[in-house]
Amino acid sequence: MTEIQRPGALYQQVAAAIREAILSGEFEPGAPLPSEAQLIQRYQVSRPTVRNAVATLRAEGLIEVRHGKGSFVRSDGQPAVTIERRVSRTAKGRFTTPDGSEWDEAEVTAYRSRTTRATGQLLGLDTEEDLFVCDRLLVDPASGTRAMHRMLTPFAIAADVPVFGEAPGPTLTAAYEIMTQVGHKLWWSETVRARMPLPDERSTLRLPDATPILHVARVTHGTNDRPLLLEELRTGADRAELAYRITADKEPARRGRA
């Protein structure tokens, strides 16, 4: 039985006590926490209070709760997948996107859509402009990590290159290759964000509780900085990380909001 007498609400004091026990190593990663009944005894509080405390730690990503089994300390292991966001050109003139691990394509769906305010801005278009969209569900075979990939191609770009008009459209590598052969000198502008997943993203990516999504939007630019296509990659941040390699170079001209 541990004394509780700190700041804030009762359940926060209980949560703080358990958190401290976890961070201090009293409960090892993977080890089970005491059951709700035991926590009620230990801290002399009611069941709702214990559940509130447990819910708090769960939202912090510190523990994982399994129905009928108990609560377990999450292991803060290294990410299983390192996504390297450098695009290189091989000797043969091919573009490759080294991902650390190669993804398997589990599902591919292609359809037509229109720009939203956000996607239009990234592509240098207005809203409600026509697009080809190709969604891919990617799976890392080694770890089972999942990712959602979306490629958006404006009609104006696809018109220059017939392949883009046909479903499901070319693969990414092929798209890059084609763009280069057409004479574009490519560069990429990426923005990285994180947010909590919506329920459908949670289930598609098979994410545990309190797992944020890493959301990468990459705009491929060609000659004259013309935006050619937009990629969006969404994956759970619990097992994936992004890796960049940056080299100092000359001051680049400011090209507006990335």
Residue 149: which of 234, 208, 42 has the closest Cα? 234
Residues that bind DNA (CB under 7 A): 8-12, 33, 35-38, 45-49, 51-52, 54, 65-71
* Least Cβ distance, residue 13 to its own copies (angstroms): 12
How big is the site for its own copies, counted in residues (CB under 8 A)?
Answer: 52
Measured from the CB atom, the residue of 110 and 210 that comes closer to its own copies is: 210
| Encoded tokens for 195 | 């947010």
| Residue 251 found at the interface with its own copies (CB under 8 A) | yes
* Least Cβ distance, residue 35 to DNA (angstroms): 4
Measured from the CB atom, the residue of 36 and 129 that comes closer to DNA is: 36
Binding mask 194-233 for its own copies (x = CB under 8 A): xxxxxx----------x-xxx-------------------
d(CA 47, CA 146): 36
| Residue 61 found at the interface with its own copies (CB under 8 A) | yes
DSSP element (H, E) containing 137 = strand 130-139
Measured from the CB atom, the residue of 52 and 211 that comes closer to DNA is: 52
Q: Residue 124 corresponds to which amino acid?
A: G
* Residue 33 near which of its own copies, DNA, none (CB within 5-8 Å, type-dependent): DNA
Binding mask 3-22 for its own copies (x = CB under 8 A): -------------x--x---
Q: CB neighbours (10 Å) of residue 24?
A: 8
DSSP element (H, E) containing 192 = strand 187-195
Binding mask 80-99 for its own copies (x = CB under 8 A): --x-xxxxxxxx---xx---
Residue 205: which of 154, 137, 253, 157 has the closest Cα? 137
List, in order, residues 6 or more apart from 213 with CB less than 8 Å away: 194, 195, 196, 197, 201, 205, 207, 234, 235, 236, 237
166 in helix, strand or coil? coil
What one-character DSSP code corresponds to residue 30?
T
| Residue 247 found at the interface with its own copies (CB under 8 A) | yes
| Residue 192 found at the interface with its own copies (CB under 8 A) | yes
d(CA 201, CA 208): 11
Report the interface residues with its own copies, using CB under 8 A. 16, 19, 55, 59-61, 79, 82, 84-91, 95-96, 186-199, 210, 212-214, 237-238, 241-252, 257-258
